[in-house]
Structure 1
Amino acid sequence: MKSSVIVIGAGVGGLTTGALLAKEGYSVHILEKSSKLGGRTASLVYKNHILDNGFHIMPFYKKSAIFSVLKKIGIDSRLKLATVNNIAFHSDSGFHKYPKGMLDLLQLSLIPLKSRIRLLKLLLPMAFTSIEKTEEWDEKSLTDITEKLDSDTKAFFEAVCMLAFADTADHISLGEFARTIIRANPFKGGTSEFAYPDEGGYDSISQVLGDYILEQNGIIETNQSVKKVVIENSKAIGVITGNEKFYPADCVVISYPAYMALNQLFDDGVIDRKFIEKINRLDKKTAVVEVHFALNSKIDNKQVVFPVGNHYTTKGIFFISNITPTVSPHGEHLIIAGTPVNPSVADNSEKIRDIVSTMKKEISSIYPNFTSSLLWERPMAWKLVESVVKEPGMVWKSKMPHQIPDIEGLFFVGDSTISYGIGTDSAAHSSILCYPKIESFLKT
């Protein structure tokens, strides 16, 4: 009989790990505390529109870690994807095409020709360096190389960081930025294309993975919280759920932020306190204010627009219905506008209202028909659980390891563990790196 594995958490990290193990015939049992799969990507239906919990996008399309997992287990054809490639900047001088490759930079009308050449000289060496070399830059901030650039070129970097990291350049590690450039380089097998589920709702990815696990005789329980991971003789032997039920297992995989798990799921003294304190440094919060707008007319044919310039509060406008019309009922259109904010803002309703009001005015200045087309709006402010995937000194191999020394049968996956990229792609990359370690343990 194949070994049994309990996975705590049905986000992308837990589901990709569970799917990889299920493919090899292991008995996979996933426990998820919420009522839906997808973790932070769970969507909802509001006034017949499919709303994501923020804007999510699959980077590097078929070169992404998520797509690699789907392909490895043979279900990549199940997920229908829409390509996101109609992207533009908007500045005071109008719209400017977003460059899809290095050569496109020479035609980037957003910045003067002299600045384009300087930008190309800056990015080309990054695009052709090695992943190993980029690790030497993980302690540096992206602004170390951008601070002396002109304002137009800085605006370009800010827009790229908004698309790739949902954050500002001063929060991004130079190493993580360089790895993104490498992965987008077609001469190194990469792509700058992005994708989104064609049927709407980014959690469609999680549903496809969940269906596969069930087909392989796995078990997925929602509304099932875990109270404790049971460790005996320095080995994980199972978990105790919130209703005090014990689930035995040959190994336990934790798939939610490691610093939370270490402080919540273990008896005192099981995990070395100094190790926990080291991992607690990963508890870094960033926040975003985003607003869904439903319109009764199409105000643009583009898919994504980045307003650039310090006078814009709005950092991204995402035309979801232009990516895939299935997210909205016939005759209506859905967009999201967003901006990174200080985490304290996410708890201040008055500041959120002010930001939303400002974003509406800015969108109206770009699209005069916006106000007359507006049917309803749904603001939200949310905190990212952690931002270690991008901050200098807290990326790639500086994150939580997949295993804790001296404890057998316990593994950690997700974007707070060793991996590169951000969000769901980082979570899937973590699974790709951790899965061989789990299988090696189970075989012994």
Structure 2
Amino acid sequence: MDNSASFDAIVVGAGLGGLSVGAILAQKEGKKVLVLEREPGIGGRAHHFKGDLINAPQDYLGPLAASTGWLVRSEPDLQSIVDDRLLAGYSFELGMHDIVNGAHSRMCHILESLGVPVEIVPLKACGFWVDGELHELKRGSFPWMDRDTYTEMRTILAAMLRMSVDEVRKHYRESLADYVQARTQNPKVLEFFDILGAFTVGMNSARELSAGEFILITRMPMAAGLHFADGTLGQMGGESFMQIAHNLASIVTAAGGAVRTEQRVTGIRVVDGRATGVTIAGADGHTYDIASDLVVSNVPISLTIDRLLPSDVVPADFVKHVHGLRSSGAFTPIFGLRTSVVDIPGMLMAKVPIDDPALQDGIVLGYEAHSLFVDGKAPHGKEIIECWVGLDTFQLRELKDTGKVNLVADAVRDFLAAQHPGFADALEWALYPAFDFVVSVAPTPEQAWDAMLDPKCPGVDGLFFVGESVKNYGGFMDGVAYTALLTATAITGTDYLAILPPYQREL
């Protein structure tokens, strides 16, 4: 590897945020970009597993750990799952992934602007569990709501859609639960917003979610002509979301840049308040410097500060603020079944009670049988179900330390077994992964937008951040795409947010 080559920009981390910025700088700005990734593959948390290629437990556990993930348990044990080739023919994600707003996603707009679009498979439905019964959402009515209840829910939504951006900002510091309760006491309306709001941004309760954040997220798909009944989400076949990473990387290399994996960056070099490049640890045990006066870190900002930057270059108040930010994680079980037990091809959501003080609100569970609408997710005639439970990072760690995370695992499995006849008999294998950090800055009432960070690093010229810590709304891949455009704009002065339709860049 030639470390003496000159690069106009260095991107640390080949997640979708870093690759997006790198691709924009390469194609739109004509820069020679070097993307460095410590792991063997690119894509960050958008890792896609093919069961036929999992030949040892580490083939699964390695990528899991690289994304702050850990395996709570498996059924049967992981070694037996591998030895018995139970995963053969299945394909699944690191954690449950969807692309928000489907083909209208911000990431899709970026890929289209770069000339490397991907094909999105839209979810075809959405279902809600209410009082032990599964209802498929319909346009114009929700089956479990009478006309007055449905009208009341629609009235609250309509008011959200009509708000100006300035009005929305007034509700950043208010929880979604408080916002809705000030407008209705109808239990079915409250439950609807609690489940939808919690799942929209991966939290476990509308009490933990900023009303302003929810309003901005909810009206994006509606402005695009999507509807709750359609799920407002999308999936991908083939290489799944890894295809996005490959397409972005191809833009970087086509412009004369490089994407290098298994490159451990040990430091970002700073001289007289300016970034001058990075230091990497070579496989031979030596360290090497690569020069560039533009560095973009796709490593979480707290880790960038603690591990990659000299201790005295960033203002102390900024460091304190970053370390005080609250993050959120997720628990994402995956089930392989020898026959299909789910018949709604979309997102299904439920509030699942748990009889323990640690989870007095229960959990909001979302799950999809991806094999119903994406080819190749499961062997013919079989089914794969991927699940999501959003949990605060500190809460998830406490559940791990006390062993009570197994209560959540039991609750998910028991719910599916009770509500989908045949589930228990059809279950061939189950993985129960959890992730400490899915969203670096959780959109709580205290943190939404204002507490998130600007792309430019204070105190260091030429150093920029990208990723969920940077100001965004929408979260997950859609939020990361927003930060990539915001970061590219901060670097170049060109308004790359203009790539998006107006309703996706209201701020």
TM-score, normalised relative to structure 2:
0.79
Contact 2:328 2:436 in 1 (8 A): yes
Moved over 4 A (4+): 309-314
CA distance in 1 between counterparts of 2:49 and 2:399 reads 20
- Provide closer, same or farther for how the CA distance between residues 387 and 436 of structure 1 changes in structure 2, counting only shifts above 3 A: closer
Indicate the residue corresponding to 1:277 in structure 2.
320
1:77-226 correspondence to structure 2 within 5 Å: 79-92=118-131, 94-98=133-137, 104=139, 106-147=140-181, 149-167=185-203, 168-186=205-223, 189=224, 191-192=226-227, 193-199=232-238, 201-226=240-265
Query: 291, 302, 306: which one pairs with 1:263?
Result: 306
- Provide closer, same or farther for how the CA distance between residues 281 and 385 of structure 1 changes in structure 2, counting only shifts above 3 A: farther
Give, in angstroms, the shift of residue 11 of structure 1.
0.8
RMSD: 2.3
Contact 1:14 1:413 in 2 (8 A): yes
Secondary structure of the 1:107 match is coil
> How many residues matched?
431
- Provide closer, same or farther for how the CA distance between residues 314 and 159 of structure 1 changes in structure 2, counting only shifts above 3 A: closer
Secondary structure of the 2:455 match is coil
- Provide closer, same or farther for how the CA distance between residues 242 and 357 of structure 1 changes in structure 2, counting only shifts above 3 A: same
- Provide closer, same or farther for how the CA distance between residues 112 and 388 of structure 1 changes in structure 2, counting only shifts above 3 A: farther
CA distance in 2 between counterparts of 1:160 and 1:29 reads 40
Counterpart of 1:155 in structure 2: which amino acid?
A: E
Contact 2:313 2:460 in 1 (8 A): no
Secondary structure of the 1:127 match is helix
Contact 1:346 1:383 in 2 (8 A): no
Unaligned ranges ≥5, structure 2? 52-86, 355-361, 495-507
Indicate the residue corresponding to 1:317 in structure 2.
367
Please say if 1:61 is aligned against 2:80.
Answer: no
CA distance in 2 between counterparts of 1:145 and 1:310 reads 23
1:353-364 correspondence to structure 2 within 5 Å: 353-364=406-417
Counterpart of 2:17 in structure 1: which amino acid?
A: G
Secondary structure of the 1:325 match is coil
CA distance in 1 between counterparts of 2:464 and 2:441 reads 19
Give, in angstroms, the shift of residue 75 of structure 1.
1.1
Secondary structure of the 2:121 match is strand
Indicate the residue corresponding to 1:4 in structure 2.
8
Secondary structure of the 2:411 match is helix
Indicate the residue corresponding to 1:229 in structure 2.
268
Unaligned ranges ≥5, structure 1? none
Please say if 1:28 is aligned against 2:33.
Answer: yes
Counterpart of 1:31 in structure 2: which amino acid?
A: L
Over the matched positions of the two proteins, sequence identity in percent amounts to 21
Counterpart of 1:107 in structure 2: which amino acid?
A: S
CA distance in 2 between counterparts of 1:165 and 1:414 reads 15
Give, in angstroms, the shift of residue 348 of structure 1.
4.2
- Provide closer, same or farther for how the CA distance between residues 268 and 353 of structure 1 changes in structure 2, counting only shifts above 3 A: closer
Q: Mean alpha-carbon deviation: is it higher for 2-11 or for 30-39?
A: 2-11
CA distance in 2 between counterparts of 1:281 and 1:132 reads 27
Please say if 1:412 is aligned against 2:465.
Answer: yes
CA distance in 1 between counterparts of 2:50 and 2:402 reads 23
- Provide closer, same or farther for how the CA distance between residues 289 and 107 of structure 1 changes in structure 2, counting only shifts above 3 A: same
Give, in angstroms, the shift of residue 292 of structure 1.
0.9
- Provide closer, same or farther for how the CA distance between residues 212 and 400 of structure 1 changes in structure 2, counting only shifts above 3 A: same
Counterpart of 2:24 in structure 1: which amino acid?
A: L
Q: Mean alpha-carbon deviation: is it higher for 401-410 or for 66-75?
A: 401-410
Give, in angstroms, the shift of residue 393 of structure 1.
2.8
